[in-house]
Amino acid sequence: MVFSSVIFIFYFLPVFLLGYYVSGWRTAVLLVGSAFFYTWGEGPYLFLLLLMIALNYGGALLLARLAERRVRHLAFGALIAADFGVLGFFKYADFLVENFNAVWAGPPAPSPDVALPLGISFFTFQLVSYLADVHRGAVKVERDPTKFAAYILMFPHLIAGPIVRYADIRDEMHADRSRSERRGLGVQYFIIGLSQKVLVANAVAPLADHAFALDPSGLASTTAWLGIWAYSLQIYFDFCGYSNMAIGLAFLMGFTFPKNFDYPYVSRSITEFWRRWHISLSTWFRDYVYIPLGGNRHGLALTVRNLLIVFVLTGLWHGAAWRFIVWGLYHGAFLILERFGLRAILERLPAWAQHLYAMLVVMVGWVFFRADSLPHALQYLGAMVDVSAPTAADLQLTILLNAEVIAALVIGSVLSVPVMPRIMTLLKRPMAEQEDGALGLLDTRRVHAYPVLLLAVGFVLSVSVLVGSTLNPFLYFRF
């Protein structure tokens, strides 16, 4: 079950919210509703998740009681190893066996061939952040097992983030959530996210899929660039839209999730891009990997080492394949170049040239992310610089360029920059006076006709598309 589905919007969510608002057991309703939500998609893997919750709940209590520093460090290391051991088995075992067999001359080792549990990367990182924060005293250990289980199982962030640290919502978890002043804001976030996902990401997905399904050897540069343009919009609005829906659902329940995207395609450098893209993941790696490794405090060589480690892990987090590792190293290399000289050069260029540089780097990187394999990615990149005439395969692609797809490409490109706040300003309508107002949302204390009409149209169009279409992919669903 995904948020952008008729079943979720018209069946699960109304029943859940009714029980959540009417009953006096909001944590219990959240826990049961989230368990049902996860079971709908995963079934037996719910027991794995419950086992990991129990292990980390008990482990955190143990860490809080241990006084001897060395024993405490050993217990913390064992718990972290257990969490990453589970993630490693389900996500990377097949990849490791495949590569072992590729270099091993003897009989091939059998592949585990296990299915990847939904959201395992997200909830593993949340468990690890909780243990680390308890270990270093950044958050008080949670002694109520239902509240801790509800934090991990909370369905808005369970399968696709954002990565929410317990320190961010602990007070809200213990507060009376019967009266939330942000329910109106939650509805707005959800509708905006739904519109981003359905009206842009889903609309351009067939174009990207078709371009990457073609044989790169017969692909002209115009088609290759059209395909990566479509994919760049798809992955942004797919993930950003889903994150906004999650943030909206959290507001409806009285929680505040961290912002996960801040118009990354307006960036003028790759350093800025990673401050704006998947913010909860990049800050997680900064706080729990980069800084503990030493950050940039111990000279040039170790700073380079730390950045490369972080971005190799970032690539691996996204998938067990060499193309993801290359994608991570590719971004890490540009961050290193910018840190040690390229940024100073960029700052002398006009703003448009800096932006063009950042977008070219990002779009080339997306080729590694989207291609089926590393050789496929390299062939596709070769097609992007090929200036030969269009082929029959390229002409087939123009069939997909109907009015809906063209509109999605144009609207998606326009809305990938912060034009919504400017539109609201032109309409002379107040926006939410908070950093969340970057979306250009209306002030929830008053009703304003134009923004409400815009949201209503977006919701109706999105639902109409969902009812009439079978295409509803989500790229981060299995991360």
- Whole-angstrom distance, CA of residue 400 vs CA of residue 211: 10
- Whole-angstrom distance, CA of residue 235 vs CA of residue 168: 27
Q: Using CA atoms of 260, 265, 267, 273 in order, give the dihedral in degrees to the nearest 10.
A: 40
For tokens 């250009």, the residue is 440
For tokens 């304003």, the residue is 448
Buried b (16+ CB within 10 A) or exposed e, 101-110: eeeeeeeeee
Could you tell me the two tokens for 385?
């610089």
Dihedral-angle region of residue 274 (phi above 0 means left; psi in -120 to 50 means alpha; beta otherwise)? alpha
Could you tell me the two tokens for 251?
């507001």
At 423, is the secondary structure helix, strand, or coil?
Answer: helix
CB-based contact 244:439 (threshold 8 Å): yes
CB-based contact 322:369 (threshold 8 Å): no
Residues annotated as catalytic are 318
- Whole-angstrom distance, CA of residue 145 vs CA of residue 236: 36
CB-based contact 80:89 (threshold 8 Å): no
Q: Which DSSP state fits 215?
A: -
Concatenated DSSP letters for 35-82? HHHHHHHHTTHHHHHHHHHHHHHHHHHHHHH--SHHHHHHHHHHHHHH
